[in-house]
């Protein structure tokens, strides 16, 4: 037996929900995320679905998932049993569970209302949607509930940065950013569509500044303007040598632009975008939108205020 002194072990996390063995440093936290519906999540998710479906959503889901339900005193229980049978029989059936939950989340606004009350005060965390997110997080699901639907789990810091930029950008840029986010992290990712929306979000803020008189502005033209008239613009970050002036900004724009392989058809390099590509491109687009929105790039005759230098 290994005897450990009283000060040898130390907590590796202060997360209140961490297991005892993790808190004392005996093992590392389990950070693995699981795609689909693993065995340990199946019954909790089916239970949640049965509890919070309505008679209308049962009928709609039966049509969408091609179920022929038997006559029953409890349509919700009949649907749960049919869905469970399909989920036990195939991986596609388990995806049907997620599709059913996503549908219920999107069509029932009452799921955001707390079910627990202390007198006249609602109890935070008792909302059905909060309980669903707790089930998914505790079970290590790769998905979570956010903004009315299921989507792929993303680091909280990245989500917060995205929301800040989307909230302060122009309406057009914000619209394209949000479309790109949904197409990247939604239950049914569309990488090519997401990439195109990310490019359009940057065009929405870059083109009015760099190409104000062009009737058909594109990001490619904006990049050419920065290349050909670099001396006419300056960037808030003072760089040196190859990082001087607007050079780094132009390279970032060029990277986003040239990596878009799904923009045109018929070319030798044309193909659908990969999910990994758009997951790298979207944060790049968010950063670029933030820079243009905040005034980090300006005409050379427009100095930055002292507190921005």
pLDDT digits (tens, 9 = 90+) for 248-270: 999 999 999 999 988 777 777 78
> Region 66-87: what's the mean pLDDT?
92
Asked if 21 and 76 sit in the same domain, the reply is: no
How does the average pLDDT of the chain come out, rounded?
88
Could you give the C-alpha distances from 1 to 5, 6, 21, in angstroms and in order?
13, 15, 17
Q: Could you count the other beta carbons within 10 Å of the beta carbon of residue 215?
A: 5
Indicate whether 67 and 173 sit together in one domain: no
Q: What pLDDT sits at residue 9?
A: 44
Together in a domain, 27 and 95: no
Domain check: are 162 and 122 in the same one?
Answer: no
Looking at per-residue confidence, does 156 or 278 come out higher? 278
pLDDT at 148 over 80: yes
**6 and 48 both lie in a single domain:** no
The reported pLDDT for the residue numbered 107 is: 92
One domain, residues 103 and 82: yes
Q: Is the pLDDT of residue 16 over 80?
A: no
pLDDT for the residue 3? 43
Same domain for 223 and 271, yes or no, is: yes
Q: Are residue 243 and residue 292 in the same domain, yes or no?
A: yes
How far, CA to CA in Å, does 187 sit from each of 83, 96, 250, 261, 277? 18, 11, 33, 23, 17
4 has a pLDDT exceeding 50: no
**68 and 186 assigned to the same domain:** no
Q: What dihedral do alpha carbons 91, 93, 94, 95 form, nearest 10°?
A: 90
Position 14 confidence tier, pLDDT thresholds 50, 70, 90: low
Answer with the one of 120, 146, 172 that is the final residue of a domain.
Answer: 146
Q: How many domains does the chain have?
A: 3
Pair (298, 220) in one structural domain:
yes
Q: Which among 87, 117, 146 is the end of a domain?
A: 146
Q: What is the mean pLDDT of residues 200-223?
A: 95
Which of 101, 125, 146 terminates a domain? The answer is: 146
287 and 236, same structural domain?
yes
What domain range includes position 279? 154-308
Q: Give the pLDDT mean for 191-219.
A: 95
Please tell me the pTM assigned to this model.
0.77
Q: Do 82 and 204 belong to one domain? A: no
């Amino acid at each position: 037996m290994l005897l450990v002194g009283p000060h040898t072990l130390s907590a590796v996390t202060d997360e209140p929900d961490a297991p005892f063995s993790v808190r004392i440093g005996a093992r590392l936290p389990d950070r693995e995320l699981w795609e689909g519906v693993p065995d340990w999540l199946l019954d909790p998710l089916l239970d949640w679905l049965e509890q919070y479906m309505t008679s209308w959503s049962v009928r709609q889901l039966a049509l969408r998932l091609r179920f022929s339900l038997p006559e029953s005193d409890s349509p919700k229980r009949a649907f749960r049993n049919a869905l469970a049978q399909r989920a036990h029989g195939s991986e596609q059936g388990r995806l049907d569970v997620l599709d059913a939950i996503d549908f219920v989340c999107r069509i029932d606004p009452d799921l955001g209302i707390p079910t627990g009350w202390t007198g006249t005060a609602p109890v935070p965390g008792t909302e059905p949607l909060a309980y669903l997110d707790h089930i998914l997080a505790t079970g290590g699901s790769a998905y979570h509930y956010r903004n009315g639907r299921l989507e792929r789990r993303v680091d909280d810091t990245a989500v917060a940065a995205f929301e800040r930029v989307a909230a302060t950008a122009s309406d057009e840029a914000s619209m394209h950013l949000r479309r790109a986010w949904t197409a990247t992290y939604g239950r049914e990712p569309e990488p090519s569509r997401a990439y195109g929306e990310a490019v359009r979000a940057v065009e929405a803020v870059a083109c009015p500044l760099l190409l104000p008189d062009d009737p058909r502005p594109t990001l490619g033209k904006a990049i050419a303007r920065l290349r050909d008239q670099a001396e006419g613009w300056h960037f808030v970050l003072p760089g040196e040598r190859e990082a001087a002036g607007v050079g780094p900004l132009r390279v970032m724009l060029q990277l986003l632009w040239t990596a878009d392989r799904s923009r045109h058809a018929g070319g030798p390099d044309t193909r659908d975008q990969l999910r990994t590509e758009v997951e790298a491109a979207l944060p790049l687009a968010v950063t670029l939108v933030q820079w243009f929105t905040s005034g980090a790039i300006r005409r050379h005759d427009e100095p930055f205020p002292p507190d921005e230098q």
